[in-house]
Chains A and B, each alone.
Chain A
Amino acid sequence: MKYYIQTFNKYLYLLFNLISKDFKIKYRRSILGILWSILNPVLMMVVITAVFLNLFKFEIDNFPIYYLTGSTIFSFFTDATTSSMTSIVGSGQIIKKIYIPKYIFPLQKCLFSFVNLFFSLIALVIMIIILKFEVTYTVILAPIPIIYILIFSLGISLILSSLTVFFRDIVHLYGVITTIWMYFTPIIYPENILSDSMLKLISFNPLYHYVGYFRDVVMYGKIPSLKVNIICIFFSIITLIIGSIIFKRTQDKFVLHI
């Protein structure tokens, strides 16, 4: 254990460097730069709001905020996992040449998405101000679901990044899976249109709980119960443990397949 912490400390600076590299490369070439990361969710929100309010006539108060809170959390998850998935394969050139703890790469992508999440959150704050939405003091609890989903995303990322080394077609499948996953998470539709059986099924979806938690503290001024917290922690920790085990068991074989 002590050894692990030592190596992690040694490569902490590398992790920081890799994330700042991602950052520089992402924003170097565009004129609006970082503004895009704020503008993008806002534009998406405008489109989705226009489509769903006119087309489906859902009855949700403050639909723009409802959508934005859900999509911010969900996009962070898809962003982190999708970019992590190819992180090992994509870093083949380094892994083949030099010893580096390999979990650095999925961790790098997750944390980079985490940095981007802050820009999306800025977009959310801006919309809250513009729409004069009243938030209560519970909003200070917002970091909690964000930490939960970060841990959950890291677990999924570890699983996906190691499996992708052996089965490249997961990359193509995962796009479909995240789309299905999105429809199984109440992001664009209200929870109350779901039937009881459907609601039961959806309660097995960890993202349903994270999104719900985030909305509770940001929109509805509710403090989630202990039960909700335990469910969220359970999903996060279990996923991280499974991810770590799969990653640890397969990491020595990565170099033979990339």
Chain B
Amino acid sequence: MNDKIGDICMNSVQISNVSMHFNTNKQKMNSLKEYFIGLIKRQVDYSKFIALNDISLNIEKGSVVGIVGLNGSGKSTLLKIIAGVLKPTKGKIIVTGVIAPLIELGAGFDMELTARENIYLNGAVLGFSKKMIQSKFEDIVDFSEVREFIDVPMKNYSSGMVARIAFAIATIVNPDILIVDEILSVGDFQFQKKCEDRISEMMKNNTTVIIVSHSIEQIERLCKRVIWIEKGILKMNDSTDIVCEAYKNS
């Protein structure tokens, strides 16, 4: 399943003229009553929120790219578009290869189930086959250090333990593209170190890594290129020193 289609193509992610609009008024219209009232009133005025405005960029295969910007600048929206969760309102996006999205860890965990059951379930959510999860099961348990509690329902776990399992599952494959959104802030110091090591290991395997972080030091340490988004507009896309310098001074 880990086809390296990306080898043929130079770019892992190709974003051309992508815009994302949220229709704030419509989103609140959740009931039939409101809908019909809207129809009768012929309510056409709605406020449009532009989360991303005409963004074009290429991310080369094997590169490590950081995305910086203030809260609400559209970073997560961009990542969600890359991950395929959101469809852009306008523009086109071409993604080559297998994506491991670490946007939010543990999507699809069911707290009533045990950790063992959740590993299989979450692995399936990420699109892994049964064989593959079985073969990597021991690795996941070792990495997350939860062996003694493996048959305990997850609702009894601490949030750090949940995060460790989630990270371990999401990174068992060597994906072509790894998307990391603020997740390195979970867990204790030791675990953060472990995660960073795992990510560095992937970088060596020619995985494209896209990191969103508010920690400028982390970005400076890991990335070669940085994209700065402000209010949905691509402000800078250059080497780490130049962008980080400008970002810090803004």
**Do A and B bind?**
yes
Question: Which A positions have Cβ atoms within 8 angstroms of B?
Answer: 10-11, 13-14, 16-18, 21, 24-25, 28, 93-100, 166-170, 252, 255-257
Q: How far is A213 from B128 in the complex, measured between Cα atoms in Å?
A: 41
Number of interface residues of B (CB under 8 A): 33
CB of B5, distance to nearest CB on chain A (Å): 13
Contact at B124–A17, with CB atoms within 8 Å? yes
Chain B interface helix/strand/loop/mixed: loop
Q: Which residues of B contact A24 (CB under 8 A)?
A: 113, 117
Q: Which residues of B contact A168 (CB under 8 A)?
A: 30-31
Q: With A11-B127, A93-B108, A167-B30 given, can you name 5 additional A-B contacts, CB distance below 8 Å?
A: A21-B110, A21-B113, A25-B112, A169-B31, A170-B32
Once A94-B107, A99-B84 are accepted as A-B contacts, the answer to whether A13 and B129 lie under 8 Å apart by CB is: yes
Chain A interface helix/strand/loop/mixed: helix
7 A-B pairs within 8 Å (CB atoms) are namely A10-B129, A17-B121, A98-B103, A166-B29, A169-B31, A255-B85, A256-B22
Q: How far is A93 from B108 in the complex, measured between Cα atoms in Å?
A: 7
CB of B71, distance to nearest CB on chain A (Å): 18
Q: Which residues of B contact A98 (CB under 8 A)?
A: 83, 85, 101, 103, 107-108, 125-126
CB of A222, distance to nearest CB on chain B (Å): 43
Residue B94 at the chain A interface, CB threshold 8 Å? no
Q: How far is A234 from B171 in the complex, measured between Cα atoms in Å?
A: 47
Contact at A28–B112, with CB atoms within 8 Å? yes
Interface centre among A14, A25, A28, A256 (most CB of B within 10 A): A14
| Chain B positions 108-133 with a Cβ under 8 Å from a chain A Cβ | 108, 110, 112-113, 117, 120-121, 124-130
Contact at B124–A257, with CB atoms within 8 Å? no
In this complex, what residue of B is CB-closest to A28?
B112
Once A10-B127, A21-B121, A99-B84 are accepted as A-B contacts, the answer to whether A169 and B108 lie under 8 Å apart by CB is: no
CB of A119, distance to nearest CB on chain B (Å): 21
Contact at A96–B127, with CB atoms within 8 Å? no
CB of B137, distance to nearest CB on chain A (Å): 14
